[in-house]
Amino acid sequence: MHRDISGLTLMTRRGFLSAVGALAAASSLGGCTTERREAIPYAAEPPPPATGSLGSFDTMYAAMVDDGFSLPAIPYQKIDPQFLRQIVADPTGARPGTVVVDTATHHLYLVRDDGTAIRYGVGLGRDGFEWSGDAVIQWKQHWPKWTPPDEMVARDPKLEPYSAANGGMPGGLMNPLGARALYLFQNGQDTLFRLHGSPEWNSIGRSVSSGCVRLINQDIIDLYDRVPNQTPVTVTSGVGGAYSGGLYSGAPDAAAEPVLLGPAPG
C-alpha cells in the first residue's frame, strides 16, 4: 500500500520532533483509549521459533525502514540498561508464551519454554490512568490508526482533524501509537488498552501515558513478530508472588534479580 510521507520530508528535524512531542503530550491525556473494537475470532497461530540470542544492541536499535517509514536509530547508550531488550531468567512462573507486564519495575516479559524470558522496558500510565488484570491479544495492527476519544477532542480542539467523525489519524511516524499496536481484550470485550510503540524512547521506564503500555518502536516490532493472536497477557504489580488468577505456577523469590543472559551494552 502506498503511503504519502512527502510532507514529512519537507519538515526540519526540529519541527518533526516538536510535532511528535505535541502529539505524544496529547496521547498522554487519553489518546490510548481509542474507539472500541468488536472481538474478532482468530484461528490459533503457530508461535515463531525461539532464538537463543537477540544480537547486539547496535543491531536491535539500528535505524530501519518499515512499511515505507524510516525509523531513526535509538540512542540506547542513554537508556538505563535494564530497559533494553534482553534475555533474562524468567521471574514470573507464567506459562510459556505468556506476556507479563510488571508495573512495579516497568518491565514486560515474554515467557519462553526454557526457563527464560525476553524482557523489554516499557512506559506506563501515570497515577489515575493505570490498568491491571488479565487479557488476551485479540487484534494486531501495523502502523495503527489513532482515534482520540470525543472527550479528549473537546479538551483539545486541535485534535478535531483526528476525531472519529473525521476518520482518525492514519498510521505514521507522528502517530502516538507508533509502529505496531496489540489490542487487549478481556472476556470478549475491548479493554481500550494497548501494547504499542512510541517514538519517545526517553519515556521508557517512566509513568507518563494514559494507561497503555508503550515500548520503543524497534521493541514493539520485535514483540509483534513473536506473539500470535490470543496470546494471554497479565498486567500486574510485582511478579515475585503467587498470582490469584492461576497464571503463575509458583512463587519465585520477589527479591531475586533476573540473571542477564543477553548482550551487554557496548
Q: pLDDT for 142-151, tens place per residue? A: 999 988 878 8
Q: Which residues contact 203 (CB under 8 A, 6 or more apart)?
A: 24, 123, 209, 214
Find the mean pLDDT for residues 185-206: 92
* CATH architecture for residues 6-236: Beta Barrel (2.40)
Phi-psi region of 228 (alpha: psi -120 to 50; beta: other; left: phi over 0): beta
Please state, in angstroms and rounded to a whole number, the distance separating the CA atoms of residues 183 and 190: 8
> What band does 238 get if pLDDT is binned at 50, 70 and 90?
confident
- At residue 105, the 3 state secondary structure works out as coil
Least confident range from 64-78, 181-195, 197-211, 240-254: namely 240-254
Better-scored residue on pLDDT, 40 or 90 = 90
Residue 128 has pLDDT above 70, yes or no: no
**What is the pLDDT, as a whole number, of residue 56?**
93
pLDDT digits (tens, 9 = 90+) for 20-49: 444 444 444 344 655 555 544 443 444 444
pLDDT exceeds cutoff 70 at 255: no
Is it the case that residue 160 has pLDDT exceeding 70? yes
| One-letter amino acid of 113 | D
